[in-house]
Chains A and B, each alone.
Chain A
Amino acid sequence: MTNRIKIKSKDINLFYRDFQALYNINMDVEENRVTALIGPSGCGKSTFLRILNRLNELIEGTRIDGQVFMDDYAIYDKEINVVDLRKKVGMVFQKPSVFPMSIYENVAYGPKIHGIKDRRRLDEIVEKSLKAANLWQEVSDRLNSSAARLSGGQQQRLVIARVLAVEPQVILMDEPASALDPISTSKLEDLIAELKNNYTIVIVTHNMQQAARVSDYTGFFLNGKLVEFNRTDELFVNPRDKRTEDYITGRFG
């Protein structure tokens, strides 16, 4: 069963000054699916993820060719408002990036900057987002304490709640479990499985078991190229490319 295409990457090339980091990436990301990007360090998978919310533009000397469509709307068009795009495409980072403020303020940050001021409305959003991130039960009695006191796994779920509070359509995750212990990781993976009912998720992971567990589609990157992109069950059982096979069987990487 295939879903509607949510994101379509067409011939994306990315240069960092003289260095080309991505070569002709074409990829279709289906709606309400989890798409995993795997590959060895430095292969371009995180760079590609940052293509999707235009976060690469922060780095001076970056040049991007090609186009990415989200619902037929070309995100690299000049007229596109990056702020609107980033509202629709949330992102979770490798290191839990909770802000140095209270739990409540962390979640309310996004809605506030987008103009919601009504306290009751904010309360509702915070509660709903924390519940959706499976964190409400653990923190509901200390919303005003510092977010920095939470454990790593809780912080990462708080970051997800913060993303959900902005009501995105797509969530990008850049190795979200790499700093977490096994129990926190498994909670996070459960959460990803729940979230895909409502969101389209693209996740970068260096952990192939994790990709196999959580994703519906997997893309294998090597040296800036998308070597193979397929349904996860196909890619891991019947890789078409020799390099994919070598990687997933652990011959390099």
Chain B
Amino acid sequence: MIENYVEDSKMMGRIFDGKESKKGAKNIRFNAEYMIEKLLMLCAGISILAIVLIALFILVRGVPLIAKTGLNDFLFNLKWDPTRGSFGIGTMFIGSLVVTLASMLWSVPLGLLTAVFMAEIAPPSVGNFMARMVELLAGIPSVVYGFFGLVVIVPLIREYLGGNGMSVLAGALILGIMILPTLINISRDAIIAVPREYKEGSLALGATHYQTIRRVIMPAARSGIITAIVLGMGRAIGETMAVVMVTGNSTIIPDGPLTPVRTMTSNIVLEMGYAAGDHQAALFATGTVLFIFIVVLNLIVNISAKAGSQNAAN
């Protein structure tokens, strides 16, 4: 090591300056190394600082209002009338949950079964091709999904099911499509990562392929599948553009799939243009609630991933 180092330094010395002493060359090398490390550290620091600043900003602007109205009142009061000083996001809080859960109701089963098909039943070439297609689906901007929902799904609902079409159902359909890529590709990866020995061991005992999938492969992939579902849920709850475009955005509690609904994200985007003072603070407070939601979901992912890796390690 040391010999190499000296050899290198000699070379460096010659390159930089024929008369440069060995010691000087060593310093140049040392400095370059030092600089690169510091540069990387700076980059990492800026990224983290940006995140911390945004988080702080949201909290600082939002929390005082929550403190003023009281957390309970803010979250569950159904009266949102910001120009008259009534800041209850109850309808939006429920709206976000309803639209998200409704979207997962159909997309989780569909996504999981698709992932099983791609990982276990389709020939590998077909599975890989489908995975590419699904990734493509993930790359479509959300405004395009929203536009599709507005011109295709909303009129269909209005025509065949009634109401004006802008509804919980339209939001759930669009959001479901949007989180399918997350659900499918992460659960497919989890299923593929199940050790081959499990599958062969089960088949060698005379289990059918279906029994093997249901009783051995799926349980073994459980933590990855939970991760997929939770990440999908995070995406659904945070999605804004497509939802604003198709859900009608009334601040009422939806009493059926055909009634319009407003989510927390929609609330922010719809009113941020003209909000000021406490009204603006209330929007930041809405953001705080969303932020906490996402943090909790990510914590669940981390815990489930940790549990999964412990299973695998043993």
A residues with CB within 8 A of B:
53, 55, 58, 60, 83-87, 90-91, 93, 95, 97, 99-101, 109-110, 113-114, 146, 148-149, 159, 162-163, 166
Q: Which of A99, A114, A146, A148 contacts B206 (CB 8 A)?
A: A114
B220 at the interface (CB under 8 A from A): yes
CB distance from A139 to the nearest CB of B (A): 15
* Known contacts A97-B195, A99-B220, A101-B219, A83 near B204 by CB under 8 Å: no
B residues with CB within 8 A of A:
123-124, 195, 197-208, 211, 215-216, 219-220, 311, 314
**Contact indicator B206/A166 (Cβ below 8 Å):** yes
* Known contacts A99-B216, A148-B311, A149-B314, A86 near B205 by CB under 8 Å: yes
CB distance from B19 to the nearest CB of A (A): 59
* Alpha-carbon gap, A97 to B212, bound state (A): 14
- Residues of chain B within 8 A of A109, CB atoms compared: 202, 205, 207, 215-216
Identity of the chain A residue whose Cβ is nearest the Cβ of B194 in the assembled complex: A100
* Alpha-carbon gap, A148 to B314, bound state (A): 5
* Alpha-carbon gap, A26 to B69, bound state (A): 85
**Contact indicator A87/B206 (Cβ below 8 Å):** yes
* Alpha-carbon gap, A90 to B198, bound state (A): 14
- Residues of chain A within 8 A of B203, CB atoms compared: 55, 58, 86
* Alpha-carbon gap, A149 to B311, bound state (A): 10
**Contact indicator A60/B195 (Cβ below 8 Å):** no
Extra 16 A-B pairs, beta carbons < 8 Å, given A60-B123, A86-B206, A148-B314 = A58-B200, A83-B207, A93-B200, A97-B198, A97-B200, A100-B220, A109-B216, A113-B206, A113-B208, A113-B215, A114-B206, A148-B311, A149-B314, A159-B201, A162-B201, A166-B205
Question: Could you list 10 A-B pairs, sorted by A, with CB under 8 Å?
Answer: A55-B204, A83-B208, A91-B201, A97-B197, A97-B200, A99-B216, A100-B220, A101-B219, A110-B205, A113-B215
CB distance from B298 to the nearest CB of A (A): 25
**Contact indicator B204/A91 (Cβ below 8 Å):** yes
- Residues of chain B within 8 A of A101, CB atoms compared: 219
* Known contacts A86-B206, A110-B205, A110-B206, A100 near B200 by CB under 8 Å: no
CB distance from B208 to the nearest CB of A (A): 6
* Known contacts A97-B198, A149-B314, A53 near B219 by CB under 8 Å: no
**Contact indicator A99/B204 (Cβ below 8 Å):** no
- Residues of chain B within 8 A of A84, CB atoms compared: 206
Q: Which of A83, A85, A97, A114 contacts B201 (CB 8 A)?
A: A97
- Residues of chain B within 8 A of A95, CB atoms compared: 195, 197
Identity of the chain B residue whose Cβ is nearest the Cβ of A112 in the assembled complex: B215
Identity of the chain A residue whose Cβ is nearest the Cβ of B222 in the assembled complex: A100
CB distance from A246 to the nearest CB of B (A): 33
- Residues of chain A within 8 A of B311, CB atoms compared: 100, 148
* Known contacts A101-B219, A146-B314, A166-B206, A55 near B197 by CB under 8 Å: no
- Residues of chain A within 8 A of B201, CB atoms compared: 91, 93, 97, 99, 159, 162
Identity of the chain B residue whose Cβ is nearest the Cβ of A84 in the assembled complex: B206
